[in-house]
Chains A and B, each alone.
Chain A
Amino acid sequence: AAEKKIKIGVIYDYTGPLAGGGSDLQALGAKIMIDHINSQGGVEGYMIEPIYADAQSKPEVAINEAVRLIEQEKVDMLLGFYSSAQCVPVAAKVDSLKKFMWITTCISPAVLKGRNLKYVFRPQVHGAMFGELSVDFLNSNAQSKLGIAPKKLRVAIIHEDGPYGSGVAGGNAGAAKKLGMNIVLKEGYSATAPDLSSLVTKLKRKKPDVILHTGYNPDITLFLRQAKEQGLRWKALIGHGAGYGVVDKLFDAIGDDASHIFNVDPVSIWKLDPKSLAPGLSDITAKVGAEYMKAKPDTKTKSAHVGMAASNALVFFADVLPRAIKKYGGIDAESLRKAALETDIAPGGTLLGYGVKFPKAGESDMMGQNMRASPVVMQYVDRKVYIAWPKVLQTIDPVLPLPKGSAYSKK
């Protein structure tokens, strides 16, 4: 009997600067999950037929590929996307073509905010949440750990100026302002800037206690290196995903001085306590990890990127797709949309730990955004990743301020 199948266009950046910034790893996560589902015999009699495509780190290529996959390859839906610069135009395009799009990664609020898209869903945390969480973390710990009242806390916000960095920084600034923190500097820069020494100098002049940083990979290592060499000091450095999620690179770049850096990200799926998750999920986590190591045997510390894409893809395959097929009778965009709107996963129900629920029409200005998603604050200590915040998930008591002995610690 002819097997039924669902054709999915999977788009990430396999080339260009973003590839190494994490997109490549996200793509791996999605692929591992798709292979896993197929090895389980597919979903409700449907095998998954992925068509992988490379957006080459360029928005116009992403648009082209999206259109091609939909119109030429006649895929039933799209999944993936790493860069928000691509998500913004592609989501608009796909929605106007009335096709279903499941975003695993792009986090910029701009993708969904105020756009009222009908067919685009994002189980992923959005950028402003990152920014808000880091400020919340500071608010709760400034007095106790740093001995500084939150209102007195000097905060600097720096970010790569793409949609991702700007989105997160917007969240940072909004939350910090609301809490009355002292924002001494807020500045964006291009991720390909060959020199950040002026930025470091400005930071030194403004003497922030805490630096909130959002960036991709090369700019983060450049910043850390120049900060170290120019003698920039802080009490805490909080990164926000992307480049900060690739732990190995941080330690490769600046050695042990990368210790005690914080990173706000969806939790690394391998760091979660299996007991906090729904039964069966931890087996999948383990399997994803095993496949990951098979694909990239050199890995020292498993990056959160792989798990993130795997988890977000799994939500679709395990929850949305079966409902669409069983309840709404198909895999067309309309059925998938209805199924997605009914998703209601409680916390602990995904590999990433958070639950999933999308807003009903009119409920939010961010239609398609998972309202139950939340990142965590992690802290890296000696190449190990610990969860520092929120309190319920803590696996470490956050080390704050930066202990003496680090090149970045205040004398």
Chain B
Amino acid sequence: MLRVEGLSKRFGGFTAVDNVDFALEKGEILGLIGPNGSGKSTIFNMLSGTLKPNEGSIRLDGKEIAGTPPHAICVMGVGRTFQIPRPIRRLSILENAALAGFYGQAGAVTRAQAWRSAEEALEMVGLPTDAEAAIDTLGAAGLKKLELAKALATKPSLLLADESLGGLDHSEMDQAADMLKNIREELGVTIIWVEHIMGVLMRVVDRVMVLDHGEKIAEGRPQEVAADPKVIEVYLGSDAEETAAAASRA
């Protein structure tokens, strides 16, 4: 459903993403990993339209979307979360999701429909759906969940999840990982997931792609990647064994 070819992004003289190709099948979960600053979020920013690629094409269901503005891409069915949660604090939790439901869905949406999809999304991630609940009542984990709920309320076909686990404790990480699985299974959403917590990521994803300095250095099933010496060198380090263990547990 998604086909990316020759994608590059430069900031000034610095190349953040360098000629990356990849493709996704419907319903797949792709893990995107790589050292800090290797260009993962930058790829997300280009897929979601926040940044314009310098080169390359991004085709969603055959349609070229590179350079399309973010709101349009959202309506076309690409939902994203932000690495650092960006809720609208002046709106309630429900309104945050409803906003996404109203503006982010394809076609004309009535208010009632928007609110309904918001409630569904919040239920999915396990957040309260009462109208008054304010953002301030959410902790770090809640905010991450809200990011997901906002993306889900737009009824995406492709979900870009950026470090949904960062800063969560272990039990919450597990919950979140299960949630992503659920989303795929129940809604049939295709997912790209960026994460540094290998123990969880490897259990969930179908395929892993590894970036380093903006270039793709490996791609394949979790076990293969976890064993790749190059990946171990630049990314996994001494975590490799545990990662491999997690991958095989999946």
A and B touch in the complex (CB under 8 A): no
